[in-house]
Chains A and B, each alone.
Chain A
Amino acid sequence: MVERKTFRLMLLILGVVFAFLYIPISVLVGLSFNEGGLPTAWTGFSFKWYGALLENDNILRAAGNTLVVAIFSTVFSTLLGTLLAIGVEIRQRNGKWLETVIFAPMIIPDIVLAISLLSFFSLLGVKMGLHTIIVSHVVFNLAFVCAVVRARLKSFDWSIIDASSDLGASTFITLYRVVIPVLIPAILAGGLLAFTLSVDEFIIAFFTSGAGRASITLPMQIFAMIRFGVTPEINALATIVMSVSVIALALSQRLNKGGLPGQ
């Protein structure tokens, strides 16, 4: 039993940590509803900045771009990351070496990855745009999806694959009826994580989007707007982006923790 005094101190520290983490975010969310638009005074509650967002073509286009990038990079990285995870776990040989190679995109600083990808695309002479951002996002998302699915595979009973085959199933039916249903929570969790990461990724998108406004994503749009000061419009936009990320992340965690009812 912790002494009462110590317990109070611990509560205080906890409070300070949470305040440190969440006060800036609360301020941002709060100001996005401030009618007056000045960060210095609260003049009343309003949704008008959210309304203003809907009339800003640049923002709408950027939001559209971000959605396209996030959806495509999520689909590709989830597919490839899952297959990679299964492949790595089946072939345990050279595991350590493979592991390092797969994890590299998670650890390498984004700026390094961004420059590498830019040089790579330039070398190939690829015209840059949304497609190059998608490919770049797949590069690092692949590693995250693979990590999430592999974590689930660690507790996977491989003998159920043999059992399925023994009971008369072909490889394809085993994949479809046994392997994927057992792994689906981890696959979805990995996919949602990839989606979140893609939505708010800035540096890599900035480097690989090419010239012009056509393939600007939301984080890039916010960056461009912020050069003229933090407007309530940006606060509103940031609030929306954050909500999407938090929901996706929460879903991902829930899926991965709860797992299957049968697990």
Chain B
Amino acid sequence: MTQPFLSIQNVQKNFGTVKAVSGVNLDIYENEFFALLGASGSGKTTLLRMLAGFEQLNGGDVQLEGTSIAHLPPNQRPVNLMFQSYALFPHMTVAQNIAYGLEMDKLPKVQIKDSVDEILQVIQLGHLAKRKPDQLSGGQRQRVALARALVKRPKVLLLDEPLSALDKKLRSEMQLELKRLQAEFGITFIIVTHDQEEALVMADRIAIMKDGGLLQVGTPHEIYEAPKTRFAADFIGVMNFLPVNKDGDDFVMTNGGSIKATSTNASFLGTAVAAIRPERLAIGDAGDNTVSGVISAIAYHGLDLLLHIKTDATDTPIIARMTADVMEVHKPIEGQQITVSWSAKNTHILPT
């Protein structure tokens, strides 16, 4: 593997007696789009603010290209932060907001003007250069905040929930836009988000955070298809959990049926859960593992539909995701007896 660009080493942060971030080790590579994903209170924003320099470390080190930046104040780090509230200067125009950071670098006026004009083109807001922030829509403000941080061409751009204030449609547009800008500028992006879909769509790698620590780090595909813990499996997407007991090399469900799995997180004893994604279930008994039950509810989503199946394998209904054409072939109705199956390679045995 190549040399890490940003190296977070055993970083600690306490607020009073609360450990906001405890012993995080993370290497981020150059030109990577990295997502810190977690619920509120998981320490993700605190970690981001430590990278920006707004929180002092209680322990550990942060190195950028091999040099420690842990004790540099925010205004001396080659790192910029895009704030969740955007934090635009209300008394300055769009162009003045964007130019501010370049003025702090004491660049020549002509160069500042060129850079501002150029980035206004990139974010397609050239015609609004003379507007004040309160004359812009939420989406436009978001672009200005991004441009203001990006125009300084930092080594690392930190983004704190950059899309959380936008409506759903604009959000999915901006997800791709952010990816495009990241590729175009060739800057390492670290984004903080609580939205798992956002992380899956945008990031090259994701770190799931919980209680101030890292739960799992991997590509979106690894995180989604091979969760290492029950929390990670539950946090990303929808997951069915069937309680199982270990019996030799096999696993036995509470209803007596056995389960085959090719991937097991073997470092545990006794009880565990078998985790299966809803879209891996198929109607019928063609797969390696089978469970039967009664359809308790059908949730139609247009693109797909979710069958809720009450079984004796677990207390909560199993959710099976079907495409719309399955509806036409099988015509499932509530109360109907149904058997679903799935393959061993899509079964993840996780500690409870």
Residue ranges of A at the interface with B (Cβ–Cβ < 8 Å): 157, 159-160, 162-170, 173, 177-178, 181-182, 260-263
Contacts and interface: CB of A to CB of B under 8 A. Distances in A.
Given A163-B87, A262-B133, A169 B92 contact: no
Interface in B102-150: 104-105, 132-134, 148-149
A178 B87 CA distance: 11
Interface in B24-72: 52-54
12 contacts: A157-B85, A160-B88, A162-B54, A162-B81, A164-B100, A166-B52, A166-B149, A167-B148, A168-B75, A169-B104, A262-B92, A263-B134
Nearest to A168: B104
Given A162-B54, A262-B133, A262-B134, A167 B91 contact: no
B82 to A, nearest CB: 9
Contacts of B53: 166
Contacts, number: 71
Contact of B83 (A159, A168, A170, A181): A159
B90 A165 contact: no
Nearest to B135: A262
B192 to A, nearest CB: 14
B89 interface: yes
Contact of B89 (A165, A173, A178, A261): A178
B13 interface: no
B80 interface: yes
Contacts of B133: 262
Interface of A is mostly: helix
Contacts of B90: 157, 160, 182, 260, 262-263
A178 B80 CA distance: 18
B74 interface: yes
A166 B148 CA distance: 11
B256 interface: no
Contact of B91 (A165, A166, A181): A181
A173 B104 contact: yes
Contacts of A168: 75-76, 101, 104-105, 152
Given A167-B152, A168-B75, A262-B134, A162 B104 contact: no
B89 A163 contact: yes
Given A173-B104, A182-B90, A165 B75 contact: yes
B73 interface: yes
A165 B89 CA distance: 12
A166 B76 CA distance: 8
A263 B104 CA distance: 24
A181 B89 CA distance: 10
